[in-house]
Amino acid sequence: MIGYIGEFEELVLLTIAALDESAYGVSIKEDIEQRTGRSISIGALHSTITRLEEKGLLKSQMGEPTQERGGRRKRYFQLTNQGKAALRNIKALRDELWDLSKVNLAFSA
């Protein structure tokens, strides 16, 4: 159905879903960096976003000009239905595997 989605791609998709209306380049980058504690380059992020757009998992629209960026507009990203479906698929697969797991994955204090 949908092509294979990589780990970073999944992360980006989920972050965009979490940020909802305010998902644009800088906010996505900051959010991921904060949550995962790893530093990502803006180039790598935009490359991934472009690929996701190509696959039809994301769509984007330009916002209004803002002062802080020297009058340059932001590009806001949104999940498409396909994107949502892809995320659901992954989650279903994960859940299934979690359930099937014979090893106890829960925290054992």
Q: Which chain residues interact with other proteins by CB under 8 A?
A: 24-26, 29-30, 41-44, 46-47, 49-51, 54, 62, 68-70, 72-75
Least Å distance, CB 43 to other proteins, is 3
Query: 36 vs 61, which CB is nearer to other proteins?
Result: 61
Least Å distance, CB 35 to other proteins, is 17
Query: 27 vs 80, which CB is nearer to other proteins?
Result: 27
Least Å distance, CB 20 to other proteins, is 18
Own/partner pairs for 10-16, CB < 8 Å, 24+ apart?
10/87, 10/90, 11/36, 12/45, 12/48, 12/49, 12/52, 13/52, 13/57, 13/58, 13/79, 13/83, 13/86, 13/87, 14/87, 16/58, 16/77, 16/78, 16/79
